[in-house]
Amino acid sequence: MTETEGSKRITACFTGHRNIKEPLPEVERRLTETVEKIIKRGYLYFEAGGARGFDALASETVLKLKAIYPQVYLRLILPFDEQYKHEKGWSDAEVEQYCKIKERASEVIVLASAYSSGIYYRRNRYLADSSSVCIAYMRRSNSGTAHTVNYAKAIGAEIINIAQI
């Protein structure tokens, strides 16, 4: 087994919508329970894509649980640095949250120096390729989240969709 294969066995990624359409406390509860179960199964590495919405919520959840489980790592897999400058819809509070998460992450991997066509697709593939579990918040089948979930499923990852729990 290669080092990458070994790491993949204990790595989970997150993918989800930027806009969460149900009460946030309920989504946070399900997410925390799910991440905690995965940690108890031996998972150490959690990867998120740095987007606002579910990615930020998942990152914050891992960082909170790190106080209880200091062995866990949060890896941010950013398509390019300061993606909020390219994307529409980021509030000042979301930009501040992004910066704080980035500072507190165990590792930050930036895939490109600037935006380019297909970079989000590349980021999503990276997340799925490096994980054996994909924790999703997916409510629509025609979205980037759905493409990531379908790809992860096709390469054999376990899918946990907390929007359906």
Average pLDDT of the chain is 94
Residue 165 has pLDDT above 70, yes or no: no
Output the pLDDT for position 6.
67
pTM (2 decimals)? Answer: 0.93
Give the CA dihedral 13, 17, 20, 25, nearest 10 degrees. Answer: 0
pLDDT bracket for residue 142 (50, 70, 90): confident
Q: pLDDT tens, 4-31? A: 556 899 999 999 999 998 999 999 999 9
Q: pLDDT tens, 34-87? A: 999 999 999 999 999 999 999 999 999 999 999 999 999 999 999 999 999 999
pLDDT cut 90: percent of the chain above it = 87
In the CATH hierarchy, which fold is given to the domain comprising 3-164?
Answer: Rossmann fold (3.40.50)
Residue 121 has pLDDT above 80, yes or no: yes
- Residue 164 is encoded by which pair of tokens? 């359906």
Supply the Cα-derived Rg of the chain in whole angstroms.
15
Average pLDDT value for residue range 127-155: 95
Residue 107 has pLDDT above 90, yes or no: yes
Residue 2 has pLDDT above 90, yes or no: no
Instruction: Find the angle CA(104)-CA(108)-CA(130) to the nearest 5 degrees.
Output: 120
Residue in 161, 160, 165, 154 with CA at minimum distance from that of residue 138: 161
Output the pLDDT for position 145.
93
